[in-house]
Amino acid sequence: MTTKRKGKKPETVKVGNAVVRIYRRKKTVKVKLKSGKTVRKKYTVFAVEDYTNGTRRFHDTTKHAKAVATAQRIADQLSTGQTTAASMTNTQAASYGRAVELLRPTGVALEVAAGIFAEAFAIMGSAHHVEAARHWKQTRAAVVTHKTVAEVVTELVQHKKARQKSARYVGDLSARLNRFAKDFGGDISNLTTSDLTHWLDGLKVAPRTAKNFQRVIATLLAFAQARGYIAKGTNPAEDMERINSNGGDIEIYTPKELADLLKHAPKDYLPYVALGAFAGLRSAEIERLEWKEIDVAGGFIHVAADKAKTAQRRLVPVLPNLARWLAPYAKRRGKVWKGNIYDLQEARAETTKAAGVAWKSNGLRHSFVSYRLADIQNAAQVALEAGNSPTMVFKHYRELVKPAAAKTYFAIAPKQPANVVTMPEQKEAAQ
């Protein structure tokens, strides 16, 4: 060990390549005497520089001998590799300490900062990263008005109401986006494409439902961008992979599966199932339908143009077994389904779980068209009832089931005006 001290320069203690500095400092402290008087007292402090934990710190003592001993201990540690700074030269250690001090206000560790820089370097090469950061701030952060997701949802819903959008549209929009906002409480400008993708994947819903959520989220973010809550060119919805709800085989229920669904459907949800299965109404059409539009005595359901997907009015026959399912609801008024989309999802989940039957996307409507075509062998008539084209019906639903299975299907009816299902005594025909 060698010790050097010259003039006002710090005293150094060197062991191998490790150098530790001892600084002599004057300190003044206020001392309160017994008389109550406060005086200033000056004394000398020896400050030992220490980098052993990766950051610069000092050990103060009024004893020079103790300072030298402390410096020797630190130098020994550095020289023998007992610390993270052991292999550093004095210049390297000083540089390390300055780097740590620069990062201290950020709360970011040096190792983390180095990793961030390495990643940025891999992306941009030798480009100027500070200029890139300034550009990001100008285009993404500085120019936006900061709003939470929930705030923008509320603003969008009010905007749609002011534009006199239909109550159903506004209600669906509000319900879906409020569910989205519940999971994202922060600034809307911080949303990423990855956030949206993971959230949609986590819904565990049918592709069509996921696509509907994706659509309203895209509407929300486009609105936010137009209002200056998201910077131009940074809309995360624009880079999302579009969900395809088309394609795949048409799924239908067997007569037994449908009977089990009807048996376990809650009272308020049962008409929804029956209308889908035995009248072929679309989900949206049932949600818009009112009881006054169901004329059981007259034998038809009036689907108005403003409630049909095709915007064309049609009359759908009330088949005998459907009339029996709807009989207990003869005195009902208002909408057939009075809940929102989440009430509907809960009813579906409750029913399928109790019945032990998996929910099939558009399965009720697909089942009706398939069994109806097999029953009456008239694609044009089925197309009129379902609001489809004969070509579509013939192409997708021909040969899915046999006539015998159709007879079994349309014989499913309650034993009495209640939520009780009876199946024909004959064995279920194979599809």
Sequence ranges of the domains in the chain: 2-110, 112-141, 149-239, 255-409
Residue 51's nearest CA partner among 10, 101, 16 is 101
Can you give the pLDDT at residue 422?
45
CA 41 to chain centre: 64
The predicted-structure confidence for 76-117, as pLDDT tens digits, reads as follows 776 655 555 445 566 766 777 777 778 778 777 666 677 777
Kindly give the parts of the chain with pLDDT less than 50.
6-7, 85-86, 418-431
Query: How far is it between the farthest Cα atoms of the chain?
Result: 115
Per-residue model confidence (pLDDT) at position 302: 93
Q: Which CA distances in Å does 148 have to 191, 218, 246?
A: 10, 16, 34
> For residue 137, what pLDDT is reported?
61
Measured at the CA of 296, the angle between CA 292 and CA 302, to 5 degrees, comes to 50
What predicted TM-score, i.e. pTM, was given to this entire model?
Answer: 0.46
Q: Please report how the helices 363-376 and 390-397 are oriented relative to each other, as an axis angle in degrees rounded to 10.
A: 90
Report DSSP letters for 281-315, one per residue.
--HHHHHH-BGGGEETTTTEEEE-GGGSTTS--EE
Q: For residue 11, give the amino acid letter.
A: E
Report the pLDDT value the prediction gives residue 245, as an integer from 0 to 100.
Answer: 59
Q: How far apart are CA 300 and CA 388, in angstroms?
A: 18
CATH 3.30.70 at 149-239, yes or no: no
Both tokens of 122, joined, read 């891999």
* Phi, psi for residue 309 in degrees, rounded to 5: -65, -35
CB 388, CB 234: distance < 8 Å: no
DSSP letter for 241, please: P
Q: Which residues contact 335 (CB under 8 A, 6 or more apart)?
A: 287, 288, 289, 290, 291
- Given a contact cutoff of 8 angstroms between Cβ atoms, the answer to whether 48 and 71 are in contact is yes
What fold is seen in the domain 255-409?
hpI Integrase; Chain A (1.10.443)
Residue 416, pLDDT score: 62
Helix axis angle, 270-279 relative to 341-355, nearest 10°? 80
